[in-house]
Amino acid sequence: MTRLAIVIGSTRPGRNGLPIARWFTARAEAHGGFDIEVADLAAIDLPLLDEPHHPRLRRYTRDHTRAWSETVARADAFVFVTPEYNTGYPAALKNAIDYLHEEWRYKPVGFVSYGGVAAGTRAVAQLKQVVTTLRMFPLVEAVNIPFHAQFIGEDRRVEANEVMEQAAVAMLDELLRVEAQLRQLRADAGG
């Protein structure tokens, strides 16, 4: 089984990221290929990066960093659930990425993005630039949800359309394929 961490990138009260992440998590569970852990950045509550050393050294001094390091290290693959804030992605997500280094290396990442007409794709474009610096492998297959509020009911559950459902399966299939090919690179790198 591929260990998949689904990272919820928005942290604000009332965030739509939560129902969207719940919908996607259910789809990932139904897929059957993954052992899933949800990493909710609101619950993890990392302060702004407060480590004195470059994360590549792994000389962590704070318990919250060690806990986050273990969460990311035990995952084989990621899905980042991200909104678009001012055509970028949330600061909380950048902060969580910057905390670590090798823990991300040679692992694939897919994106569930949402927003207005651009469906969060500008946030994803920025994320791709950052994650490749960490030697992550961003997928082409993605779930991009335009005008996401229309899919969230009064009960805060997502009623997905067929495009979203198919995109989720395509991304999860690709995540498994790419993850399998990256295992050797991770083994060679000792992690």
Ligand X SMILES: Cc1cc2nc3c(=O)[nH]c(=O)nc-3n(C[C@H](O)[C@H](O)[C@H](O)COP(=O)(O)O)c2cc1C
Residues that bind ligand X (CB under 6 A): 10, 12, 15-17, 83-87, 115-116, 118
**Burial environment of residue 78 by CB neighbours within 10 A (0 to 12, 13 to 18, 19 or more):** buried
Cα–Cα distance for residue pair 15/12, rounded to 1 Å: 5
Q: How far is the CB of 140 from ligand X (least distance, A)?
A: 21
DSSP 152: B
Cα 76 off chain centre by: 12
**Minimum CB distance to ligand X, residue 91 (Å):** 10
Provide, rounded to whole angstroms, the least separation between the CB of residue 127 and ligand X. 14
Considering beta carbons, is residue 16 or 65 the nearer one to ligand X?
Answer: 16
Q: How far is the CB of 147 from ligand X (least distance, A)?
A: 9
Minimum distance, C-beta of residue 8 to ligand X, in the bound complex (Å): 8
Residue 2 or 16: the one with the smaller Cβ distance to ligand X is: 16
Half-sphere exposure of 167 (CA within 13 A, CB side): 18
- Nearest CA to 123 out of 12, 41, 9, 22 is that of 9
How far is the C-alpha of 129 from the C-alpha of 131, rounded, in Å? 6
DSSP assignment of 86-143 equals TTB--HHHHHHHHT-SGGGTT-EEEEEEEESTTTTHHHHHHHHHHHHHTT-EE-S--E
- We find the least distance from the C-beta atom of residue 43 to ligand X, in angstroms, to be 14
Report the residue number whose CB is nearest to ligand X: 115
Q: Select 54 or 149, whichever has its Cβ closest to ligand X.
A: 149
Instruction: Tell me if 7 sits within 8 A of 39, measured CB to CB.
Output: yes
